[in-house]
Amino acid sequence: MTDDNKYVPPKLWQWDMESGGAFSKVNRPVSGKTHDEDLPVGNHPLQLYSQGTPNGVKVTVLLEEMLALGDHRAEYDAWLLRINGKQFCSGFVDINPNSKIPALVDRSGAKPIRVFESAAIMLYLAEKFGHFLPKQPEKRPEFLSWLFWQMGSAPFLGGGFGHFYAYAPEKYEYPINRYAMEVKRQLDVLDKHLAESQFICETEYTIADMAIWAWYGQLVLGRLYNSAEFLDVESYTHVLRWAKEINARPAVRRGRMVNKTSGRPELQLRERHDASDFVLRTQDKLDEVSGA
């Protein structure tokens, strides 16, 4: 940076709505609802409100993996909750006071249960249905360590590197370098671990793999921030091997489509209410019907 763009913090910070770049119209320094609006409810006990970001993909991949096992208790309705201000409607704030996707409501019991934060949702579903958790209790601490490693690390990737590299209104060398360094350190941590392990928990595919893959797997596959060359992702050969193996799973391919709003229309299933929707209600099919 030069002296011309040097920033000196004021004594008292004041919110400038116009200074937030791509998200200036939806980010704000207070929580709570901005308007009253109820959320839709479908026919299944599990109601998911989300968008196809990495955090949203974690949960839809898990649900599709459970259904692929033949466990129909995991049937779900996935409603598109656009993070363009819709996350501040009263219905969504009621189930997630933090106003971030994804959020889940389990209506299978006498009283609806809300779950927010992606890892909390994944743990809740994995424990409820008994899938994709380590079979041996002594492996659970390692599994939980990696699951929460992802939750602690990904904000440096998304909110840090991704924001300043792809979304900030201006490019600044210092934050891009700072967060690129941290993301590459994280990839190195993961690469060294996967050099000695097929999956995160040795040979056992768990929700830790799904959670980490949604961010770091998709990063090395070139899907996040157009940053693959910049970060030299192909040098992380063990992460890339692991990412490709998970990417090839049919349930993962389906999970990536749910609540997706960008990219090829045939790979967007903006709402998911039945397995047949992957054939009948992808965005290209809906566009054909509407004449779009």
Report how far residue 196's alpha carbon sits from residue 167's, in angstroms, rounded to the nearest whole number: 36
The DSSP H or E segment spanning 255 is: helix 250-257
What is the number of other CB atoms lying within 10 angstroms of the CB of residue 16? 8
pTM of structure? 0.95
Q: Concatenated DSSP letters for 118-157?
A: HHHHHHHHHHHHT-SS-SSGGGHHHHHHHHHHHHHHHHII
pLDDT of the chain, 292 residues: tens digit per residue? 455 668 899 999 998 877 666 676 678 899 999 999 999 999 999 999 999 999 999 999 999 999 999 999 999 999 999 999 999 999 999 999 999 999 999 999 999 999 999 999 999 999 999 999 999 999 999 999 999 999 999 999 999 999 999 999 999 999 999 999 999 999 999 999 999 999 999 999 999 999 999 999 999 999 999 999 999 999 999 999 999 999 999 999 999 999 999 999 999 999 999 999 999 999 999 999 987 6
User: What values do phi and psi take at 36, rounded to 5?
Assistant: -90, 125
Domains located in the chain, CATH noted: 137-253 (1.20.1050.10)
Q: Which strand ranges, in their side-by-side order, compose the sheet holding 103-106?
A: 76-80, 46-50, 103-106, 113-116
Fill in the amino acid letter for 118: S
Report how far residue 128's alpha carbon sits from residue 73's, in angstroms, rounded to the nearest whole number: 10
- Nearest CA to 255 out of 264, 266, 245, 247 is that of 247
